[in-house]
Structures are given as structure tokens and as C-alpha cells.
Amino acid sequence: MMKKTHTRFVCQSCGFESGRWTGRCSICGEWNTLVEEAAPAPASPRSRKGRSDLSPISITEVAAEAEPRKVTGIGELDRVLGGGIVPGSVVMVGGDPGIGKSTLMMQMAAAADFPAMLYVTGEESPRQIKLRADRLLRKPSARLQLLAETNLDDIETLLTRVHPDLVIVDSIQTMYRPAFESAPGTVSQVRETTAMFMRMAKTYDIAVFLVGHVTKEGVIAGPRVVEHMVDAVLQFEGERHSTYRILRAMKNRFGSTNEIGIFEMQDGGLQDVLNPSEVFLSERKSGTPGSTVVAGMEGTRPLLLEVQALVAPTSYGVPQRSSTGFDSKRLQMLLAVLERRAGIRVGQYDVFVNVTGGVRIDEPAADLGMAVAIASSLKDTPIDPTAVVIGEVGLGGEIRSVHQIDKRLVEAAKLGFKKLVLPRAGRRATPTLDGLSLVEVETLDQAITTLLG
């Protein structure tokens, strides 16, 4: 006879424990904060006393060996993971509906060299997965086993008996533990699902990929503690009308969180974009006011991106400020510096800025390029199409130095650009590349005069 698991309800605000669910916590008065959890088993008289043989170990005595990795066969995914999959790790993949999460997981299962793989699905039938595999893959591997099940008890029993090398769960919001009365996708069920797969991964050295839904704000649905539990959190981003997808590491215990992977969605699935700078600039129209090229860095990869600005007289009492792919607060700062330090009056104009290709720029190195693009649109004067702009703009109008100038130089020269505008501050010896002239600037006003006259 199966032993019944007791549950309790814990307030996520104050920690109050209750034997039954109520809409409002009787201690802190908050609404809808009681969440169902498994109650700990009562300790037996023998287990109440702690172990007396426990002793710490010196950090110098711990064997530090490099984690073995298994390549996925998808170059951009390996880049984001830090070189491949670490056995026994748990990776969560989140993204908007239809962005390509299941497609990426299916292609990884086909390309990865694992002796045994298990695809646990709670949203599709095995026939639906087979149809997608036939569309994406020329010949699906017989090493990939399918399991259409959402009961965690049954899945745990199977993993205890059969130890696959790779497990893909699509998705964790559909899994449930029968001992909990709450519905699948609730806080307690998602947390219990993650805990179970974490335990199986660490016990049997199984690499686990969990596909998670996202909320309307774009964050992974469920409690934030789930993101702390897993080893890596990957976010799949992209615009619906664009064919390009970006895979970004929000957390990675085995690698850098600065790397991104860039894919293009085609009829045959997701394809690696080997030269993203050339792709993002392929549709650029030279000679257009308000358009310039900036050299950004995503981890160790330099990216040349086109930033666009449109400045138009406002029809409202309060001018509009709209940004796509660029921090709106930083845009407000740049507009204030342009007004105060460079004499560019934009107070009576609507300002719209955009980073093409669906990419988001987070580093300050794009400040100068965006500020010059705004000035170019206001003056209706195009910027030299062969110029690349780099630099951080300070509140005093000074142009501050940026890191990894050498890699940005090489990328600009490789794509045929002739001029690079960069900060003079913090200038170190940089390589001289044939056909690429360097223009050093100290202030925002000087940069605008150099590029626009």
C-alpha cells in the first residue's frame, strides 16, 4: 500500500504554515500567498540526534578536475553552454510560444552523440513529435525514445529503472505530483518537478533540459527559486516577424553568461548564423539620415549592428520617446546630454530609436553611435556609410573608453569599413589595419562635428 504524502500550505510572504488553504493569510493579511508544499516526514527517535562523524575538508584537498562535456552538434548552442553539455547538469530553456524551443531541443537530440536519450512530452503526442522530427530531420535517430507522460511518480520510477544519458522535458508546466492537490503549472507543482529532475540528474549523472513557459512580462513562469535550483537558464528571444533567434544565457554555473547564440529559422529548422554582423547589415541602406553602425560585444564575439533614429516635430504636448532594442532610460540620458553639452535641441521633437535585426544592445559602447544617429536625423544629414562608431557617453559630454577595442577593429576591417571613430581616453596601442583609419574624439560635440560637419 502506497504511503500517503502529507501536504501543508506555506505563506510565501511571512512563512506562516497552515493545514488548509485560505485566500488570505491570517498572520500578514496578504491575499493568495498560501502555496501547497509537501510536509516533511516526522523524524524518528533514532534520527533526531545529529551525526558525530561529520568533519569539514580543506579546500586544498578537493580534487579539481575539468568537467567533461558532450558537444551538442549545434555550434551556437555549444557556445552559449560554455563548450557543451555537462553530464548531471540541469538546464532550463525558456521563451515565448512558437519561438522555437521544441525545435531546438529536437535538433539537439538528433545531433548530440548520446547513447540513450529520452524525450518526455506533456503537450504533444508521440505522433505529433514524430511528424515534427520527419519535417526537421532527414533521419531521426533510433536512440531517441519518446514518453508521453505527466505523472511525476511514473516518470521517477522509469528514470530509477532506466538511466538515459539525456532527458528533455517539454514542458515542466505540464508535470504534476499526484500527492499535491494543486493543478499542474502551479508554484508547488513546478518546484516539485524541478526538484525531482535535479535529484535524478545528480544521482544518475543524467543531463536534463527543462522547457519552461514564460509570462507576459517575458520571464520564466513559476517561482524564482526554480531558476536558482537549476545549473543554467537559457532564454530564447526573437521577434515573430523576424527569422532570427537569439539564445542568451541568463545563468550558467559551467560557463560565461555573456555569450549569445544566433540562429535563423528556416523551413528545415534552426540554422547557425556564422557571421551575424554581415547578416544584420545586409539590408542596410547607405546615405539615410539617422543611421549609423556601432561595434558591440556579446561575450567574446564582436557584432556590428545598425542603429537607427528618427526625430520628428511632436504633435502632442509631451514629446514621445520610444526605443526598440535600446535601454529607454539610457536614451533619456543621451537626449539630456545632447541638449546640455552639444547644443542639439530635441525638446520639441519626438524621438524614435531602433536596433535592427531584433538584437538588444545593453553595453554603453553604443552610446556614441546612438547619439550621433539622433543628431543626424535632426539635421537631416547622412553619416559616412563606411564609418563605425564606438564610445560611451558621460554626463559631462566626454567620450569614455570601452573594452576589447582590438576585436571590434578586426571585425570592422573584415567587413570593409574604412573609418573607425573611437574614444581617445584610455587609448592603448591598437593594431593598424590596412584600409581602416582611426579617428579619436574626446567629446560628444567633437564627434558630431567630425561625422556631420
Tell me which amino acid residue 226 is.
V
207 contacts 35 by C-beta, under 8 angstroms: no
Instruction: Please give the Cα distance from 124 to 78 (Å, whole number).
Output: 27
The reply to whether omega before 171 is within 30° of 0 (cis) is yes
The string of pLDDT tens digits covering residues 236-255 is: 887 767 788 889 899 999 88
CA distances from 418 to 207, 290, 438, 443 (A): 47, 19, 9, 22
* Rounded Cα distance, 309 and 452, in Å: 15
Length of the chain: 453
- The pLDDT assigned to 223 comes to 67
> Taking all residues of the chain, what is their mean pLDDT, rounded to a whole number?
87
Q: Which of 3-12, 285-294, 351-360, 404-413 has the lowest average pLDDT? A: 3-12
Residue 73: how many CA atoms within 13 Å on its side-chain side? 12
Instruction: State the pLDDT confidence band at 202, using cuts at 50, 70 and 90.
Output: very high
pLDDT band at 2 (very low <50, low <70, confident <90, very high): very low
Tell me the pTM. Answer: 0.77
Grid cell of 163 as nine digits: 538511466
C-beta separation of 232 from 81 below 8 A = yes
Mean pLDDT of 82-101: 91
Tens of pLDDT, residues 370-412: 999 999 999 999 999 999 999 999 999 999 999 888 889 889 9
